[in-house]
Structure 1
Amino acid sequence: MTTTRQFVFKVTTRAAWKTACRSGVYAGSADDLRDGYIHLSLREQLPGTLAKHFRGRHDLVLIQFETLALGELLRWEVSRGGEVFPHLYAPLPTQKVVAVCDLQLGIDGVPMLPKEFAAC
């Protein structure tokens, strides 16, 4: 399955991202490593991803990548509720990042998308 979407996003902890920046690659979270691929989201999938997996977490960053930069190891697979999600079957190279932004918690405890990502 393929898509023509321009950007994909990864949510991770600030500490994990700092480690990735030092090494040049983000190898993935414990869930990513368990599943054998890095879980990514499209812009419109982020609210659901944040609510389901990151409620109450205040130590997060949102990382934006261009889909074309990730190459053939980026796959589009059916996941939650029949929805198609991007999965990367390789570490994320930090030099391919378009943008990184800290996430703040909303009053409901769900991390909020920053305004600068609204157009993505």
Structure 2
Amino acid sequence: MTDRIIHHMCRADEWDAARAAGSYPGSSQDAKDGFIHFSTAAQVEESAAKHRAGQDGLMLLTVDADRLGPDLRWEPSRGGQLFPHLYAALPVAAVLRADPLPLGPDGRHVFPADFPFSPLETAP
């Protein structure tokens, strides 16, 4: 299974540090699990609600999975669904766009108006 476009949520300060360094090592939870967690467009909103509920100051990274090579593996997780897991640092060059993921008045994350994105889109 493979979707070309996958997503990761991180704090804005983590993304700023990654851009300066050229790669993103993942969050503390990613480090604990041994891989960087990603979701497909169909999975990411539920992932946000389950794993990032109430967290403000997040970024939604849109990543070209084809640029990640064999370190990207599709593995069963929530409900047996296959999720993309990256067993390496995320190269900033693989990130097509990074969008703020603010909280709405209901406490849920507000995804960009043009989400899900076309595979041909790049950062605004």
With the length of structure 2 as denominator, give the TM-score of the two structures: 0.90
Preserved contact between residue 54 and residue 110 of structure 1 (Cα < 8 Å): no
Could you tell me which of 97, 101, 120 is aligned with 2:99?
Answer: 101
Could you tell me which of 24, 27, 37 is aligned with 1:26?
Answer: 24
Instruction: Describe the SS at the equivalent of 1:118.
Output: coil
With the length of structure 1 as denominator, give the TM-score of the two structures: 0.93
Q: Distance in 1 between matches of 2:116 and 2:34?
A: 30
Could you tell me which of 72, 76, 79 is aligned with 1:78?
Answer: 76
* Stretches of 4+ aligned residues off by more than 6 angstroms: none
The verdict on how the C-alpha distance between 1:119 and 1:28 changes in structure 2, with shifts beyond 3 A counting, is closer
Counterpart of 2:86?
A: 88
Task: Identify unmatched segments of 5+ residues in structure 2.
Answer: 119-124
Deviation at 1:116, TM superposition (A): 2.3
Whether 2:35 is the aligned partner of 1:37: answer yes
Could you tell me which of 106, 109, 114 is aligned with 1:111?
Answer: 109
Deviation at 1:56, TM superposition (A): 1.1
Task: Identify unmatched segments of 5+ residues in structure 1.
Answer: none
The verdict on how the C-alpha distance between 1:39 and 1:102 changes in structure 2, with shifts beyond 3 A counting, is same
Number of residue-to-residue matches in the alignment: 118
Q: Aligned-pair RMSD on alpha carbons? A: 1.1
